[in-house]
Structure formats: structure tokens, C-alpha cells
Amino acid sequence: VIFQACLYLRGYLHDLDYDNIYITSAFKRFDKGESNLLPLRKKERVHFIDSTAFCLSKQELVSILRGILIILALLAAAVLLCGMDVLIYLVLEVVRKEANVTVLINGGSGFEVALNDTSPSISQILHQEVPILLKGNSTHFKYSLELNTAPCLPDPSPPFYEDKTQLVYLGVM
């Protein structure tokens, strides 16, 4: 902005045709009622701006409205982004609360091995090779499995403007 202001001032001071459309009080004093300069004809009034006039010219109104439209578009985009931020936060918060599931699976199984005593050598080989199966002729397995989804779920942080003072500060900016 400062750079553009410097370029504008340089162009205005060095080039007579550069944005030289303002009629100031000094120009009116210089004219002192000469009929060939002032008052301007209707056709000429469109091209010049009377800086001492109470009402804004059409060019000034168009410039102001253009600036207001740009600001309103940016404000609408900011409100839309803040709304999307809140919506995403709320969705992730619902997912975190509703999808937090812990599943506990307990179970067991057992079997019994019965050997026919007709062949003591096979019974002895089985006792040597797989002693856990034949200990007491029955075996039980127990298992427990816990599945917890909490570490996999998102932990969203609330929007920074949940504190209303920061939102007011953002609006003032």
C-alpha cells in the first residue's frame, strides 16, 4: 500500500495528465468566475471530481462500492471458512464420542485325549513328544482379547474463536 501510494504521488506530481481530475478550492480561486473554465458543462462534469462538493461524484461512488463489494466478498469467505471449521470440529467430536468402543473377548476351549492302552510304546512316545497334551489326559485353553478404538480416534481441538473476545477482535480487524 505504501509503495503504491508513493508511485501514485510521483505520477501525480510529475505528469500533468496523471489522475488530474480534481477541482480544488485553489482551482476555483484561480478561475474567479471565468466563463470559459467554470462552471463545467454537463459533458465535462462526468470527467472531473469537485473535491469541495458535499455530495460524492459517480466515479467516487463506483470506487467506494467496488471496495465495499471486495470487503463483503472477503468477509463472506471468512465466515464460510469459520463455519466449515466449526462443522468439521463438531463432526470429529461426535466421531470421537460415538466411535470410542472397547470390545473384550474372553473364551476358552478344552479337549480330552484318551489313549488306548493296547499299545504302551505309542503311549510312551506321545508322552515324550507332546507332554502338554497328555498331562492329565485333558487340556484347557483360555484366552482374553481387548480391542480399544480410543487411540485410533481423532482428538480435535476446538476452534480458536470459541472464546468470543477473540472473535470480536477478528471482526474488528
pLDDT digits (tens, 9 = 90+) for 23-60: 666 666 555 655 556 666 666 666 666 667 778 777 77
- Is this model's pTM higher than 0.75 or not? no
Compute CA distances 168 → 90, 93, 155, 171, whole Å: 22, 25, 27, 5
CB pairs under 8 A, 24+ apart, for 109-115? 109/140, 109/141, 110/138, 110/139, 110/140, 110/141, 111/138, 111/139, 112/137, 112/138, 112/139, 113/137, 113/138, 113/139
The answer to whether residue 66 sits within a structural domain is no
Q: Looking at the structure, tell me whether residues 85 and 155 fall in a common domain.
A: yes
Q: Looking at the structure, tell me whether residues 46 and 82 fall in a common domain.
A: no
pLDDT(169) > 80: no
Residue 136's domain comprises 78-172
Q: Looking at the structure, tell me whether residues 108 and 162 fall in a common domain.
A: yes
pLDDT digits (tens, 9 = 90+) for 102-119: 888 888 777 666 665 656
